Chain A
Amino acid sequence: ETGVTQSPTHLIKTRGQQVTLRCSSQSGHNTVSWYQQALGQGPQFIFQYYREEENGRGNFPPRFSGLQFPNYSSELNVNALELDDSALYLCASSPDPKETQYFGPGTRLLVL
C-alpha cells in the first residue's frame, strides 16, 4: 500500500458531461501527478502539481484541468467528456517533483 487514495473507484458518465476525480497524496508528499491509461496501453502523463501550482503538462487538451489544495490533495477535472476519455485515471504522489512517484489504485471512468 502506498498511502495514495483515489475516489471514486468507478464512474460512468455520458458524452458532454463533466467529471471530477480526487486524489489524496501520501503523508509528507507535496507533489501529485496525474496519468491516463487507456486499455492495453501504458499510463500517459497528463500534468503534475507541486505546492498548488501546475508543474508540467503532457499532450492533453485544456479541457483537462486540475487543482492542488493546501493539504496537497488534488483534483482532476475533465470537461466536455468524449468517448475516448474512457480510461483508468491514476494519480501518483512524490516527496518532490523529481523523486520516485507512488501510485494510487486509480479511478476507472467509462464514457457512454
Chain B
Amino acid sequence: AQKVTQAQTEISVVEKEDVTLDCVYETRDTTYYLFWYKQPPSGELVFLIRRNSFDEQNEISGRYSWNFQKSTSSFNFTITASQVVDSAVYFCALSETLSAGNNRKLIWGLGTSLAVNP
C-alpha cells in the first residue's frame, strides 16, 4: 500500500532560521512521483515541486531546497532563512498510478503546520 508520513505535525521557528520538513513515503511502484504543496491560511494549495522516482538530484529554488533519497524513502524540504510569509501548512504527496488510463491519484501526508514568528 502507498503511504506518506509527515511526522512533524507543527513546527515553530523564528524568522531567519532554517527549517526542514520531513516526508517519508512507502510504495511498491517502481515509477512514482513525489510532490510538495503549500497551503497558506487563505486555503489555496500551491504546487511547489514534483520529483520523479528516477531523478534523485536535489533541487534548489531560491530559499527552498529538496532532498530526495530513495535509499531511505524520504523527500525532505528545507526552507533557508525562513520568513513570516512561509507560515503555512505544507503537504507532501505521492502519485499513485491507477490502472485506468493515465489517471493518477495523490496520496497525501497529513501536513506539517509551519509557523514562522518575527
Q: Are A and B associated in one complex?
A: no
Binding site for B on A (CB under 8 A): none
Binding site for A on B (CB under 8 A): none
